[in-house]
């Protein structure tokens, strides 16, 4: 039997690479059209998840991004083994993503406003927070404090990384303490919650912004819906833990569609900086 031609042999992408099915309206769309629309469904407005590279391309001023702390990495502090040893999982995630861990940090400009920027990479072990993620974010906030810069963090995470146990939970306090020092210096921190932002990340730095904004439809919460229903023995309301539900109940400041995110951040940064006392702007 003749082997099926591969993409490399034919020079054509497989059919599943050309089309994408929207989980919101269930419609089939041309993938390139969705990408041109910033990975937002043109029919129902569903926001597909985006990569770190895509997020940077649509958010920061061209040529302004400079990554920091990329070299930080961890081994296997607990000798953790589930179905596969932790070092094997780490190596696979590093090969797939091209980075050492699930947080990307650096300096950039948004609307010509310099910022310290952090992004969680959901493609790296579900954006889980371990020692390296906590260290990189804490260093980012400390660097922003020294340079008198505002901070913007895009979160997309399943929560604390179980393979690092209590060490991962300690990062909640470490990053929260760094945020407190930034706040004491009257420097703004804007937290952008993307789909999903859950677990220890939602319970710490993701909800500690001076402004907490989210993309439409983002799943945001600590425990999962099924766990809560089984624990409380109650049926949760429709849309529970979605961004719109949290906004209606006072847990978010705004929901901003992705095509408006860059301009919104630029305006917010300008306004927050302008509101600081003049002595703190230098």
Residue 153 and residue 36 share a domain: no
Of 48, 71, 91, the residue that ends a domain is 48
pLDDT digits (tens, 9 = 90+) for 21-50: 999 999 999 999 999 999 999 999 999 999
Model confidence at 201: pLDDT above 80: yes
pLDDT digits (tens, 9 = 90+) for 54-108: 999 999 999 999 999 999 999 999 999 888 999 999 999 999 999 999 999 999 9
- Report CA torsion sign: 192, 198, 201, 207: positive
pTM above 0.95, yes or no: no
Q: What average pLDDT score do residues 212-219 get?
A: 98
Q: What average pLDDT score do residues 257-263 get?
A: 97
What share of the chain has pLDDT > 90, as a percent?
88
Instruction: Show the CA angle centred on residue 224, arms to residues 223 and 230, nearest 5°.
Output: 95
Q: What average pLDDT score do residues 148-153 get?
A: 97
Write down the mean pLDDT value for the chain: 92
Alpha-carbon distance 57 to 49, whole Å?
A: 14
Q: What average pLDDT score do residues 121-144 get?
A: 98
> Please, which pLDDT band fits residue 124 given cuts at 50, 70 and 90?
very high
Q: What's the pLDDT score for residue 16?
A: 61
CATH of the domain at 224: 3.90.226.10
41 vs 4 pLDDT, higher one = 41
Q: How many whole angstroms from its chain centre is CA 149?
A: 20
Structural domain total, the chain: 2
Return the closest-CA partner of residue 161 out of 201, 118, 104, 204.
201
3 vs 56 pLDDT, higher one = 56
Instruction: Show the CA angle centred on residue 187, arms to residues 184 and 190, nearest 5°.
Output: 115
Q: What's the pLDDT score for residue 17?
A: 83
Q: Which range marks the domain in which residue 128 is found?
A: 49-280
Model confidence at 8: pLDDT above 60: no
Residue 120 and residue 141 share a domain: yes
pLDDT digits (tens, 9 = 90+) for 230-256: 999 999 998 999 999 999 999 999 999
Residue 169 and residue 83 share a domain: yes
Residue 79 and residue 217 share a domain: yes
Residue 28 and residue 105 share a domain: no
| Residue 190 within any structural domain of the chain | yes
> Please, which pLDDT band fits residue 279 given cuts at 50, 70 and 90?
very low
The half-sphere exposure of 185 on its side-chain side, counting CA atoms within 13 A, is 21
Q: What's the pLDDT score for residue 277?
A: 60
């Amino acid at each position: 039997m003749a082997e099926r031609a591969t993409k490399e042999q034919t020079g054509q992408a497989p059919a599943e690479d050309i089309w994408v099915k929207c989980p919101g309206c269930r419609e089939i769309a041309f993938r390139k059209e969705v990408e041109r629309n910033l990975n937002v469904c043109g029919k129902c407005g569903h926001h597909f998840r985006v990569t770190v590279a895509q997020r940077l391309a649509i958010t920061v001023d061209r040529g302004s991004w400079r990554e920091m702390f990329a070299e930080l990495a961890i081994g296997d502090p607990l000798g953790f083994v589930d179905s596969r040893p932790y070092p094997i999982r780490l190596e696979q995630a590093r090969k797939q993503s091209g980075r050492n861990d699930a947080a990307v940090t650096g300096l950039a400009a948004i609307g010509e406003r310099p910022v310290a920027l952090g992004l969680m990479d959901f493609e790296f072990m579900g954006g889980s927070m371990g020692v390296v993620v906590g260290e990189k974010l804490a260093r980012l906030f400390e660097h922003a404090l020294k340079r008198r810069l505002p901070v913007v963090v895009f979160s997309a995470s399943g929560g604390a990384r179980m393979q690092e146990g209590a060490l991962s939970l300690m990062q909640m306090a470490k990053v929260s303490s760094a945020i407190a020092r930034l706040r004491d210096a009257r420097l703004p921190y804007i937290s952008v919650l993307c789909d999903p932002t859950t677990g220890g990340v939602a319970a710490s730095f993701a909800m500690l912004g001076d402004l907490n904004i989210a993309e439409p439809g983002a799943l945001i919460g600590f425990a999962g819906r099924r766990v809560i229903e089984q624990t409380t023995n109650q049926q949760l309301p429709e849309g529970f833990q979605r961004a719109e539900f949290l906004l209606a109940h006072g847990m978010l400041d705004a929901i901003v569609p992705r095509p408006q995110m860059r301009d919104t951040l630029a305006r917010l940064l300008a306004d927050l900086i302008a509101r600081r006392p003049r002595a703190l702007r230098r």
